[in-house]
Structure 1
Amino acid sequence: MNDVNNAYAYASEQPGTGKGGRRKGWLIAGVAVGVLVLASGVATTAWYLGDQSDTSATARVSDAQWAKGITPEWMSTHMGLELPKAAHSPQAAYETTSRFDTGILTFTLTRAEAEKYLAKYPPDGKWLTPSPSQPAKAPHDFAHLGLDEPETLTTGMRYGDVCPGAPDTTDDPYATSDPQCVTFYAHDYAPTRTRIYVRAHYEPGISPLPGN
């Protein structure tokens, strides 16, 4: 307020000021007040937005965590899938967040074993193949297991949504069961080997995790 008073005093003390001088003094004082209010508002807004952005970013980072004690056997059962006895190097993990949970499962089979396994779980529609120009996916889910994300693989890859335990609606078109669906990826990474990737999303907090 001292700045405002000084501005007004300076204007009113100028030689030759009459009524017009007083009007100029009030005008200068008004402009000074407006500048101070605007500057205060901008500073407050910038602080608020910066604080909100930092808080939300920190919350997203600290919110996600990988559950302990997750085994391939538990994950396959939770997904409603069979874990083949012939599965080599099976791995699984489960990440919890406040928005949704993510379960992942992977293992390898021979090409022949993979074909038999995939025949048990036909996709909703048909198997799809990725486009060579598809955008890359940032490493996250399977990177936790030391693997490439299946979305980054284009050669020898097929994928589709699979709903284990879905009823056969051929004889019952009014079936209303809504099974949990998962996304399957089958990658023929070697002449005689195929890696199976499975990912599923769940509502947060509804899965009874091992050890809880």
Structure 2
Amino acid sequence: MVAGVLVLSGTAVAADLLLLGENEEITSGRVKDQGTDVGWAEGITPAWMSGHMELDIPATAQSPQAAYEVTSRFDTGILTFTLTRSEAEAYLAEYPPQGKWLEPTAAQSDVSAHDFAHLGLPEPETFKKGVRYGYVCPGAAKATASPEPSGAPDMPYEMEDGFDTSDGQCVRLYAHEYAPQRTRIYLRAHFDPGISSLPAAPPSASAG
């Protein structure tokens, strides 16, 4: 009995050690892809994320923020900034959605605070009023229908199965009129893991 317990304990310890990353950090059991740690990447700027999504940030935009998460399944890039109401309308006209802008019939209260929460913002799916959303596909031919796989625009929020699988890179865009004369733009895109050339992480400050 004692020997059996020791064997089981040793197996559990070995399993726990396999969850340790190269830098002694827990990686939740997810494997590293080409030596890149899973998690939020360092050195991500709004300008880099804008170029990666192929969507411009207007020169008049305020409070631009961006982040990029690496996972073993797919990568997620997010970008957000604010515009005046008229600037936002001009921006949305420059980047129209595939199909039409949609408005939620209800807010999603069960959305995990993860993506934009990383930037200290609520998730755009949790809004019901003053928000519209759709897929913006830079460089793609204009389509007459939304690329939403479910094809049911009457749902509160049409959500893809984790990431967009349509041809070409499409970006999920939300425009939230959070103040009488201000609109916040939320952009979220998913990318195949391991193909993105991420910015070099800034060097850590030397001690002393």
Same fold? TM cut 0.5 = yes
Q: 1:190 aligns with which of 179, 192, 199?
A: 179
How many angstroms apart in 1 are the aligned matches of 2:51 and 2:73?
23
1:208 counterpart letter in structure 2? S
2:168 counterpart letter in structure 1? P
Counterpart of 1:117?
A: 91
So what's the TM-score if we normalise by structure 2? 0.68
Question: Unaligned stretches of 5+ in structure 1?
Answer: 1-43, 171-176
CA contact (8 A) 1:136 1:151 kept: no
Counterpart of 1:153?
A: 127
So what's the TM-score if we normalise by structure 1? 0.67
Superposition map of 1:19-34 within 5 A: none
Question: Unaligned stretches of 5+ in structure 2?
Answer: 1-7, 20-26, 145-165, 202-208
Counterpart of 1:10?
A: none
CA contact (8 A) 2:98 2:143 kept: no
How many angstroms apart in 1 are the aligned matches of 2:48 and 2:181?
28
CA contact (8 A) 1:124 1:163 kept: yes
Q: 1:68 to 1:193 in 2, by over 3 A?
A: same
The yes-or-no answer on 1:208 pairing with 2:197 is yes
Superposition map of 1:47-126 within 5 A: 58-60=28-30, 64-126=38-100
Q: 1:148 to 1:133 in 2, by over 3 A?
A: closer
Q: Which has the higher contact order (CA 8 A, sep 6+)?
A: 2
2:60 counterpart letter in structure 1? A
How many angstroms apart in 2 are the aligned matches of 1:189 and 1:169?
29
The yes-or-no answer on 1:179 pairing with 2:168 is yes
Q: 1:118 to 1:169 in 2, by over 3 A?
A: closer
Shift of 1:138: 1.0
User: Which of the two has higher C-alpha Rg?
Assistant: 1
Aligned positions, number: 158
